[in-house]
Each structure stands twice: as C-alpha cells, then as structure tokens.
C-alpha cells in the first residue's frame, strides 16, 4: 500500500503570515503527513502573526484531522528580498519592525536553522512568497523600481533560497514554489510586473531543477494554483472576479480550496514524487486546459 508518510522530515515554509493562504495550508498538510515545520515570516507581519497564534485566534485553522493542534517548531523572521543582511539598506535594518530581529535575510535564516537543529536539518523548502508593490498598475504604467521589486521578491528569491538552503538539505530533498497562470497568459488586472515574475519563476524552476539536481540531488517544482480569495491576494484588487471567472469556466466548477493545494504540495514534497522535478503542476480545477470561455447559462451573471 502506498503511503504519503513524511515522518522524520523537516520543512521550512517561507511566506506564512496568517491562516488564510496557500502557505498555511501547505504547512498544515505537511504536518498532517508527519513532517515537522518551521516558518519564515515577513518581519512587518511577524509580531501580528505570533500574537494571533498565542491568543488562540488561529486555533480553528490549527485543528488537525486527528483532533490535535498544529504546532510549528520555530517561526523565523525572513525578508526574502535580501540574500544577506548586508544587502538590506540601513533604513530597513534600523526600522523598528526589523532592528531587534537579528539576521532576517535568507542566509541568516539558513544559519539560524542550522544553529537550532543540525548541520543538514531540512528535507523540504516551500517558497510561498510574492510581492508586487504596483500589482494594480498595467504593465505599461509600471515603474522600473516596481517591476524589479516584483521580480526580486517573487522570483529571484527562489534562486537565493536554493543557493543558501541547498547545501543544508538532506539527500532526496525538495523545493516547491507557487506560480500562477499569468506567467503564461494575459490576466488583465494582474500587473506591476507580477506576470513577468511568475514567468521568470517557472523558467527558473526548470534551470534550478537541473543545477540543484546535479549539484545537490534535490528536486525543484512549482504549483500553478488557481486564484484564492486570501487576505494577501486582496492586494490584486480583482481577486473575487478571478475566482468567479475560473469557477464558471473550469472543467470542475467548484471553487478551489487551499487544502487541495496543500495536499498536492505534500505529495510533491514526498518520496512518492521522487521522479518529478523541473515541472509546473496545475492545481486549478483544470482551468489551464481551457482554450475558450464557457458561455454562461441563461440568467447567469456575465463576467466583465
């Protein structure tokens, strides 16, 4: 009998700041499968997230299928815009939300995990990170700075994470990121260079799969997930329309859930997927396969 068993594995899930998005759902699925999980959380959101955990505000989401409560081994400050602490400008390092956190860079997070556990403490790294400060602007109106920030945080951060975490991962380890259809096709309203960042992320997944596979024996994949009306996605401004449109036009018409993406991530992170690398896996109710919009039935709401 095949069993998705991650007992004895440790995962870092980077990009979790609440219980509403894909990152939290992936962390929960990994724990349900037996893994232990540490988090990397953006410093400006860190105290809020820790307070929510400590005050029991997330207890409903933390409930596991066996009745137990989800627990994270550690929650580290992580700003994936910076590979090393020296890369962060002084105004960031001296900001009140950063200055007492120590090394919040990708390299700093790797060093802390080694110090807290062992020389090769990780089996799984989940990249659930994206930020486009001008995501509501059309590409033609996006500034160079906004465009480059979107690529830096949403795509290059994966390169930096494979570079820093690859050497401290155990044999058979796995990297997994989250992408979106906008990297392949036009999604009006998903701007600010974010579509370019997702395209770069998918291209980098293939190259990193080759390089990290040959150098470290690690796998690198990405999930192209359908839209989810999470708090983070609300920054896009059209997320509700995106969810409704996919539900109308996908082969499976029920809304995608974060749990479904979490389950797929757990599989891709497990030994059951040992032959899968350099791949985009679609978890979007089949929407990616459609080449023409479905005509709405009489009386159904028209899409803009």
Q: Which of 22, 98, 147, 190 is catalytic?
A: 190
Report which DSSP code applies to 86. Answer: G
Identify whether the C-beta of residue 134 lies closer than 8 Å to the C-beta of residue 192.
Answer: yes
Question: How many CA atoms does the CB half-sphere of 160 hold within 13 Å?
Answer: 23
3-class SS at 65?
Answer: coil
Question: How many CA atoms does the CB half-sphere of 301 hold within 13 Å?
Answer: 7
Residue 276's CB is within 10 A of a number of other CB atoms, namely 14
Q: Which of 22, 180, 216, 287 is catalytic?
A: 180
How many whole angstroms separate alpha carbon 51 and alpha carbon 108?
23
- Give catalytic status of residue 245 as yes or no: no
- Give catalytic status of residue 98 as yes or no: no
Distances (CA, A) of 271 to 4, 7, 35: 8, 11, 13
Catalytic residue positions?
A: 180, 190
């Amino acid at each position: 009998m095949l069993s998705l068993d991650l007992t004895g594995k440790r995962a870092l899930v980077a990009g979790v700041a609440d219980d509403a998005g894909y990152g939290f759902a992936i962390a929960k699925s990994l724990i349900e499968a037996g893994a232990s999980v540490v988090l990397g959380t953006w410093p400006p959101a860190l105290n809020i997230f820790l307070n929510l955990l400590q005050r029991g505000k997330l207890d409903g989401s933390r409930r596991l299928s066996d009745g137990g409560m989800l627990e994270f081994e550690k929650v580290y400050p992580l700003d994936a815009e910076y590979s090393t602490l020296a890369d962060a400008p002084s105004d960031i390092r001296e900001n009140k939300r950063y200055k007492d956190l120590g090394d919040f860079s990708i390299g700093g997070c790797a060093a802390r995990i080694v110090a807290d556990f062992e020389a090769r403490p990780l089996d799984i790294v989940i990249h659930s990170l994206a930020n486009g400060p001008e995501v509501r602007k059309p590409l033609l109106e996006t500034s160079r700075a906004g465009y480059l920030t979107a690529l830096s945080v949403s795509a290059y951060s994966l390169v930096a994470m494979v570079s820093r975490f690859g050497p401290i991962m155990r044999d058979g380890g796995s990297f997994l990121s989250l992408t979106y259809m906008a990297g392949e096709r036009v999604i009006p309203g998903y701007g600010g260079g974010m579509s370019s960042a997702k395209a770069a992320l998918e291209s980098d997944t293939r190259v990193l799969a080759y390089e990290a596979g040959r150098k470290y024996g690690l796998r690198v994949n990405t999930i192209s997930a359908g839209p989810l009306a999470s708090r983070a996605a609300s920054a896009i401004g059209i997320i509700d329309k995106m969810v409704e449109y996919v539900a109308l036009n996908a082969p499976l018409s029920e809304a995608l859930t974060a749990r479904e993406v979490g389950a797929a991530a757990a599989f891709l992170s497990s030994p059951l997927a040992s032959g899968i690398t350099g791949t985009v896996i679609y978890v979007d109710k089949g929407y990616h396969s459609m080449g023409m919009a479905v005509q709405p039935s009489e009386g159904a709401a028209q899409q803009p």
